[in-house]
């Protein structure tokens, strides 16, 4: 692996890509930012093992370069530190890169745990909630511990009973043993149960176990994962809802910081956290079973008309049901009133529009069908505890 000699002074960025969904999205963000900046000197490495070749190449050593991506080999990190190579690393928020003069990009695990608890509490239909981990050594990992602790604390704030944590793999990788232990854990818990898995892989396995036990999703058990990885979410017996992350934007921020470091600038922070953006809702938590035709129609109608004001009477008329019947069935199956669902869908649209930096607050209100800006501001503040400008600013801090 050799450096291009066309420009002896041109800096390079070596992007170490990973195999997991969030690592791929991080790399996508880096490459999109490079394209938008017309910065052509980005070389993608499939694994950190390619870095020793770069460090040994004399032609590479004669020009400035930075490393961005997933690097955790201690020997390689020590060599990068010795060479004073600018590093913006994606992975665990353990400060490893910061101690070596670099920047760490990591997921905001506590925010993920809080969003999961808020989501379940908002449905208001669960007898208890539990947390699912994959293997015991993850207890020592900051990301798993922080997600669990934040989830537990937020559940207490909402007054939702916490049923504890279950570890899928303990003392061996026997699939039969894993299945039997999960069955013993899940069978003893009150239903309906909200189950928050540490990632989508664990969530998919839980869905497989529930199907084998005859537990219905989402009527008996609702399962929520993290990462919004279609490889796991869309291959379960029932498609898995998941906490989606703004990892593409994190990758954009990483390249921006790396280029600034190559210019000799000192980064103003050594940790950039990636917050969750939303819950990608699928069948594993969708609280409107298809067997209730009127409720299904109501959910579809509200979703299709989220960009304008809707009344409960209008929804009932569109579904061909009486208002009284629809309100009773809707709340029984979804845990929300029709009006609360209308507000939630419209706010989700507003949040999506707020991520577009060129749209003014007034323009967002009009696109979302709010004629009165003050009513939108009040609704948003009640839901998020902050103004739309503050919410947008918090997400812009990634840049």
CATH code: domain of residue 263: 3.40.50.2300
Give the domain extent around 332: 293-388
C-alpha of 361 from chain center: 25
102 and 212 part of one domain: no
User: H or E element: which one contains 143?
Assistant: helix 142-158
Residue 288 falls inside a structural domain:
no
The CA distance from 214 to 45, in Å, is 45
The CA distance from 28 to 17, in Å, is 9
pLDDT, one tens digit per residue, over 240-263 is 999 999 899 899 999 999 999 999
Round to the nearest angstrom and report the end-to-end CA distance of the chain: 31
Q: If you average pLDDT over every residue of the chain, what do you get?
A: 85
**pLDDT score at 196:** 98
Residue with tokens 């950039």: 272
**pLDDT score at 296:** 77
Lowest mean pLDDT among 172-176, 328-332, 337-341: 172-176
Residue 96 falls inside a structural domain:
yes
Lowest mean pLDDT among 69-73, 113-117, 173-177: 173-177
State the total domains in the chain. 3
37 and 126 part of one domain: no
The CA distance from 353 to 338, in Å, is 23
pLDDT, one tens digit per residue, over 311-324 is 999 999 988 888 98
Residue 283 falls inside a structural domain:
no
Residue with tokens 């607050």: 361
Q: How many C-beta neighbours within 10 Å does residue 43 have? A: 16
Model confidence at 204, pLDDT cuts 50, 70, 90, reads very high
Rounded mean pLDDT, 136-163: 84
pLDDT at residue 164 is higher than 50:
yes
Listed residue (180, 187, 182, 149) closest to 168, CA to CA:
182
48 and 137 part of one domain: no
Residue 286 falls inside a structural domain:
no
Rounded mean pLDDT, 78-89: 88
Residue 398 falls inside a structural domain:
no
Lowest mean pLDDT among 45-49, 60-64, 288-292: 288-292
């Amino acid at each position: 692996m050799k450096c291009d000699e066309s420009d002896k002074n041109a800096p390079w960025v070596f992007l170490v890509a990973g195999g997991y969904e969030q690592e791929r999205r991080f790399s996508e963000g880096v490459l999109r930012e490079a394209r938008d900046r017309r910065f052509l000197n980005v070389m993608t490495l499939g694994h950190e093992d390619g870095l020793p070749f770069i460090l040994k190449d004399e032609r590479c050593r004669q020009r400035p370069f930075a490393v961005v991506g997933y690097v955790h080999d201690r020997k390689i990190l020590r060599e990068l530190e010795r060479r004073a190579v600018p590093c913006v690393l994606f992975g665990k928020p353990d400060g490893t890169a910061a101690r070596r003069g670099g920047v760490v990009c990591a997921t905001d695990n506590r925010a993920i745990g809080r969003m999961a608890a808020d989501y379940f509490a908002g449905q208001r239909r669960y007898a208890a909630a539990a947390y699912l981990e994959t293997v015991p050594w993850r207890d020592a990992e900051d990301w798993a511990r922080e997600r669990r602790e934040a989830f537990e604390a937020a559940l207490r704030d909402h007054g939702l009973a916490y049923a504890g944590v279950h570890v899928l793999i303990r003392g061996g990788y026997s699939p039969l043993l894993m299945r039997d232990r999960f069955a013993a854990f899940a069978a003893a818990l009150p239903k309906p149960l909200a189950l928050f898995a540490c990632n989508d892989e664990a969530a998919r396995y839980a869905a497989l176990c529930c199907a084998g036990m005859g537990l219905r999703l989402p009527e008996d058990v609702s399962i929520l994962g993290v990462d919004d990885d279609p490889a796991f979410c869309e291959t379960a017996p029932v498609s898995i809802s998941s906490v989606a992350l703004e990892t593409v934007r994190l990758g954009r921020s990483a390249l921006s910081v790396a280029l600034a470091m190559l210019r000799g600038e000192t980064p103003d922070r050594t940790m950039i956290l990636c917050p969750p953006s939303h819950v990608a809702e699928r069948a594993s938590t969708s609280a409107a079973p298809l067997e209730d035709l009127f409720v299904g129609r109501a959910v579809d109608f509200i979703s299709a008309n989220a960009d304008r004001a809707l009344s409960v009477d209008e929804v009932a008329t569109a579904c061909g049901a009486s208002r009284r019947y629809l309100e009773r069935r809707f709340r029984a199956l979804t845990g929300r009133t029709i009006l609360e669902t209308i507000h939630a869908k419209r706010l989700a649209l507003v949040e999506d529009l707020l991520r577009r930096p060129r749209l003014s607050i007034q323009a967002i209100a009009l696109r979302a069908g709010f004629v009165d800006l003050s009513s939108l501001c009040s609704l948003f503040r009640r839901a998020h505890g902050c103004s739309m400008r503050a919410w947008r600013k918090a997400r812009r801090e990634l840049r």
